[in-house]
Amino acid sequence: METFIRSLSFHSGIPEDQAKYVSCLLLAYPFALMFLLLPNRPVLKHIIGMLIGLWFGWFTMGWQLLHSFVSSTVAYLLLLLLPIGISHKVVFVWAMGYLSVSHIYRMYNDYMGWTLDFTGPQMLLTLKLTTFAFDYFDGQRPDDKLTPYQKVMNIKKLPSLLEFYAYIYFFAGFLAGPAFNLKEYLAFIDMSLFKEAPGAKMPSPFLAAITKFAATCLVLVGVVFNMKYNLYYCRTEEFFAQPFLYRVFHVWFAGGLHRFPYYFAWMLSEGSCILCGIGFNGYKNGSAQWERAANCKVINLELAQNFRDITDSWNIRTDKWLKHYIYERVPVAPVAITFLTSSVWHGFYPGYYFSFMTASFIINLARAIRRHIRPLFLDENENPKPTKKLYDIVCTIATVFTLNYCMTPFILLGFDYSLRTWMSLYFIGHIICALVYGLALSIPPPKRRPITGDNHTAKKHH
């Protein structure tokens, strides 16, 4: 195995720690095939899935694997011993606090470094522990107090320790996600996830898994380009000596390429989740769907027309966590608290906060555009005019450029690199967004027409 890691690292040019992660993501495929052959015995499935996940963790992290055991065990004990009305909040503080200390330690020990350690899986574990705590809290509340999502995901009783640790360490998704809810995992193990399927048996996942793996191989091309053309060039004096238009082009081009390593890891993990069956999410028009484990939608994101499309297509499971466990549960300033939570979950590098503060402004800009400018390209029945296609194209180009510009500090991390790069671009993204925002607000929004039957039908169809 070590020989394979060194060979993969040598031929691909990636560090050995990253090669270990990629190797485990690849090994998840034959293990997923093996998992399909297991008899329908939940205890056996829990043990096998957990042992494989523990081996992945030990192989990639060594003794750092203990962080996941300590943080998850304490969370379970808190739910077991504390009153139900506060235990979920205490678990949230504990999990986020543990992750925050981990981020700070990483910054102290390896400032702006890129060595893969336990903090990546710990971020995923934080999602698991907090959703588990809130789902258990929701399970003790009356149904009329729950949202439709909470009614589906709530759990009525604490799982056994075997079920809990098997959920935490299940090999498919342990290293790169996605972070499933406990109820989804248990339904997969006891086969109730497939109750809609003929004979309540899992439909064949092979075609969907092969298709996802093939798409992952295509994404690998972007990963290779990212090794040569990346935003770390913005940390060099050579970058600042380049002409202004070159600097703008590089931020746009390299910023887009930087997403491909994430696409690669997420899609590779998604493929193994599909292959073992946990990626199944029902039927649509008679065809089995395998999108439960989807954490990104590459084409939707790269052709997004606004930031809402981006959040719907990027790090999907984390976005669901922010929506259902933060935004919907915060009574005061939910947008600000959600952005703050997302920032803290990522860490404490100044670049994260530069990017998220700018993103919050851009989201408000997108809402203003949709309210004030978009109606200019619709007729009185809110159907698209011929010029709507041009509007869509402009929005797509502007959205992708703004995304890459906005997220540059997220990648550069440091205060000095982030600010100096934006200064070298003369804050062009901020200025254009501010001008468009002022223009949008200067255009009166259309008066809402009374909703008639025909108008309502047309609007719904559009």
DSSP category for residue 317: H
Choosing from 315, 324, 372, 404, which is the catalytic residue? 315
346 is catalytic: yes
What's the token pair of residue 435?
């001008």
What's the token pair of residue 421?
């790069």
430 is catalytic: no
Choosing from 250, 258, 346, 372, which is the catalytic residue? 346
> Which amino acid is present at 124?
L
Q: Please give the full DSSP string across 211-230, using - where no structure is assigned.
A: HHHHHHHHHHHHHHHHHHS-
Q: Rounded to whole angstroms, how far apart are CA atoms 253 and 258? A: 9
Closest Cα partner for 269 from 294, 298, 291? 294
Residue 156 — φ and ψ, nearest 5°? -85, -25
Let me know the angle formed at the C-alpha of 436 by 434 and 437, rounded to the nearest 5 degrees.
60
Closest Cα partner for 66 from 75, 54, 78, 76? 54
Place of tokens 């040019």: 13
Place of tokens 């540059």: 408
Q: Rounded to whole angstroms, how far apart are CA atoms 244 and 240? A: 9
| CA distances from residue 60 to 57, 261, 381 in whole angstroms, order as listed | 5, 18, 58
Q: Around Cβ 106, how many Cβ atoms within 10 Å?
A: 19
Residue 246 — φ and ψ, nearest 5°? -65, -40
Q: Rounded to whole angstroms, how far apart are CA atoms 177 and 123? A: 10
Asked if residues 115 and 296 have their Cβ atoms less than 8 Å apart, the reply is: no
Give the helix ranges, DSSP H, for 37-154. Answer: 42-61, 66-81, 84-109, 119-139, 148-153
Closest Cα partner for 239 from 411, 428, 422, 113? 422
Q: Rounded to whole angstroms, how far apart are CA atoms 137 and 153? A: 11
Place of tokens 């750092």: 64
Closest Cα partner for 186 from 208, 160, 151, 150? 160
| Active-site residue list | 315, 346
